[in-house]
Amino acid sequence: STDVQGDLAQVLVTEEQIHDKLRELARRIEADYEGEDLLLVGVLKGAVMVMADLSRELRNHVEIDWMAVSSYGNSTKSSGVVQIRKDLDTPLEGRHVLIVEDIIDSGLTLSWLLENFAARGAASIEVCALLRKPDAAKVEIDCRYVGFDIPNEFVVGYGLDYAERYRNLRDVAVLAPHVYA
């Protein structure tokens, strides 16, 4: 259980591909929000790595806040029930908000968050997700900034966990089925 590499079936997105993509997305975000004060909202815990790397690519003024929600618990399937574990510190009234996520899987988490945020009176709300699984969508999410569309397999690394493990991997990889079988 000390050898993490043995738990992985295949690397899907490398560290280098991730950083190239985040740099590209950061250039678009800078242009789109030119002259605006932007509030980045990271969705804990999965979005920690994306937030750390994306925010450091941005050259405009941003604030950073966090919301902790969980729908997966220790399972590989979304429960569809989203729980707030930590709310924002920042009022959203009149703010330009960019939600930063690691992955859109079923879309249930973001669909719930978008509705929740809209009710708080934000001036605008957009989504940036490093990964998206088009074949897993249960609800369509209007996501302005997408890093990679990936196949419908359970992936870990770069913030994404299985039972709280693997978040610290540098790459995004497919978890070997023997790990959760």
List residues near Mn ion by CB under 5 A. Answer: 46
Q: Which phi and psi (to 5°) does residue 6 adopt?
A: -65, -15
Name the residue whose CB lies closest to ligand PRP. 46
By the rule CB under 6 A, 70 interacts with ligand PRP: yes
Position among 7, 53, 105, 126 found at the interface with ligand PRP (CB under 6 A): 105
Residue closer to ligand PRP (CB basis): 55 or 106: 106
- Give dist(CA 130, CA 175) in Å, integer: 18
Report the site for ligand PRP in 32-61 (rule: CB under 6 A).
Answer: 43-46
For the bound state, the minimum distance from the C-beta of residue 10 to Mn ion, rounded and expressed in Å, comes to 22
Position among 54, 62, 99, 101 found at the interface with ligand PRP (CB under 6 A): 101
- Looking at the DSSP bridge assignments, the partners of residue 36 are none
For the bound state, the minimum distance from the C-beta of residue 145 to ligand PRP, rounded and expressed in Å, comes to 15
Q: Which phi and psi (to 5°) does residue 25 adopt?
A: -65, -40
Residue closer to Mg ion (CB basis): 7 or 161: 161
The question of whether 142 is a catalytic residue gets the answer: no
Residue closer to Mg ion (CB basis): 55 or 109: 109
By the rule CB under 6 A, 104 interacts with ligand PRP: yes
> Token digits for 11?
């690397």
- Give dist(CA 33, CA 45) in Å, integer: 25
Per CB under 6 A, the segment of 15-23, 28-36, 67-75, 146-154 that binds ligand PRP is 67-75
H or E segment and range at residue 97: strand 96-104
Number of H helices, E strands in the chain: 4, 9
- Give dist(CA 143, CA 108) in Å, integer: 13
Please tell me which residue in 7, 53, 102, 105 is annotated as part of the active site. 105
- Give dist(CA 137, CA 105) in Å, integer: 6
Residue closer to ligand PRP (CB basis): 38 or 155: 155
Question: Smallest Cα–Cα separation from 65: which of 47, 81, 78, 53?
Answer: 47
Residues making contact with ligand PRP (CB under 6 A): 43-46, 70-72, 78, 101-109, 161
Which residues form the catalytic set?
A: 105
